[in-house]
Amino acid sequence: MSLMRSVLLAASQNHWLRDHASHYQFVRRSVSRFMPGETLDDALVAAQMLRGKRIGTVFTHLGENISDRAEAQQVANHYLEVLERIRQKGLQTEISVKLTQLGLDLSPDLCLDHLRTIIARARKESIVWIDMEASNYVDVTLGLYRRAIGEFPNVGICLQAYLYRTKEDIAKLLPLRPSIRLVKGAYMEPPDIAFPHKVDVDANYFATGKELLRAKREKACVRVAFATHDVAMIRKLSEEALREGFSKEDFEVQMLYGIQRGEQERLASEGCTSIVLVAYGTFWYPWFVRRLAERPANLWFIARNVFAS
C-alpha cells in the first residue's frame, strides 16, 4: 500500500479531523465533486438528471458505526422515506446500506430487523445492496446476508477483491443465488488479510469477475455488478461477458457520482447497464477521505480549491 494511501486511510478514521473538516469552505467545495449535496432532495435531482442520460442510480445515506438504538431507528426510517420518495418520483433508483449504520455494533439481530423492514418495503424487482465494510465485519455481514436472502431474493452484497478470502466466500454464497457487487476494497487492511499490492488486487478482481460472469450465465447469480472506475478492467470484463454470450444490457457497471463521468455515459450510450452510486448526507468526512485515498492525485484538486477561496 502506498504511504500516501495509508496516511489518508488513517486520517479517514481521525475524529478531530472529522469534526473540523466541514468548517472549511475549500473542503466543502472539494466534497461537492463526489456528491450532489447533503440532502435526499439533492440526490433525487441528480438521479433525474442521470436518468436523462440513461444512467441508473443507487442511493446511500452517508454514515457508519452508529452507537445508539434511536439513531439506528432513524436511519432505518430515513431509508423507508427514501424508498417512498423514489416511488413518488417514478425512479428505478435502488439503495445501498451500511450495516454498521443500522446498528450492527449494537446488535446483529436489531440490525437484521431494520434490514428486513427496509427490504420488505423496496420494489420486488429492485435490489437492496449491502455495503461491505472493514474486514472485521465481513463474517457478521455475510451471516446477516445469508439470513436476509433466505427471506428476500432481492438483496445484494458487496464483496472486495483485495481480500484473500473473497473467492471462497463467493463459492459459499452461490447456492443462495446471490446478487453480487464486486469492488476492489476501500479500507486499510493488513497483508495477512488483503493483497498488499495493487497489481495483485487487480488480478484477483479480474479472476473473480470472470467467475461471477460464469456463475451468472449458469443462473447461480441474479445480478453481477462490477463497481469500479478502472476503464481497462471494464473493457476486459465486457469482452469476457460478450464471449460468455451476454447482451450489452446484461453487463452492469456501477461507479461513484462524479468519477469517470465520460465512461459512465459511454457505457450507457452503448446499451450497457450503467449505474451511479449517489452518496448524500452530512456525515461525509470518512467516506470523502477514502475517495482521496483511492486516488491521492485528488489532493491537487483540494489544493486548487484552497487557492480558489
Residue 298 as a binder of ligand FAD (CB under 6 A): the answer is yes
Residue 28 as a binder of ligand FAD (CB under 6 A): the answer is no
C-alpha 297/C-alpha 2 separation (Å) is 13
Residue 227 as a binder of ligand FAD (CB under 6 A): the answer is yes
Q: Which stretch binds ligand FAD (CB under 6 A): 14-22, 69-77, 240-248, 292-300?
A: 292-300
Cell numbers representing residue 43 in the block = 440526490
Residue 183 as a binder of ligand FAD (CB under 6 A): the answer is yes
Which residue is catalytic, options 131, 223, 290, 291? 131
Nearer to ligand FAD, 102 or 277 (CB): 277
Which residue is catalytic, options 105, 169, 181, 290? 181
Residue 44 as a binder of ligand FAD (CB under 6 A): the answer is no
CB neighbours of 113 closer than 8 A, spacing ≥ 6? none
Residue 186 as a binder of ligand FAD (CB under 6 A): the answer is yes
C-alpha 305/C-alpha 309 separation (Å) is 6
181 flagged as catalytic: yes
Cell numbers representing residue 42 in the block = 439533492
Distance in angstroms between the alpha carbons of the first and the last residue of the chain: 32
Q: Which stretch binds ligand FAD (CB under 6 A): 20-28, 44-52, 137-145, 177-185?
A: 177-185
CB neighbours of 162 closer than 8 A, spacing ≥ 6? 184, 185, 189, 194, 195, 201, 204
Residue in 228, 264, 273, 305 binding ligand FAD, rule: CB under 6 A: 228
131 flagged as catalytic: yes
Residue 146 as a binder of ligand FAD (CB under 6 A): the answer is no
User: Which residues of this protein are in contact with ligand FAD, per CB under 6 A?
Assistant: 131-132, 158, 160, 183-187, 227-230, 254-256, 259-260, 277, 291, 294-295, 298
Question: Which active-site residues does the annotation give?
Answer: 131, 181
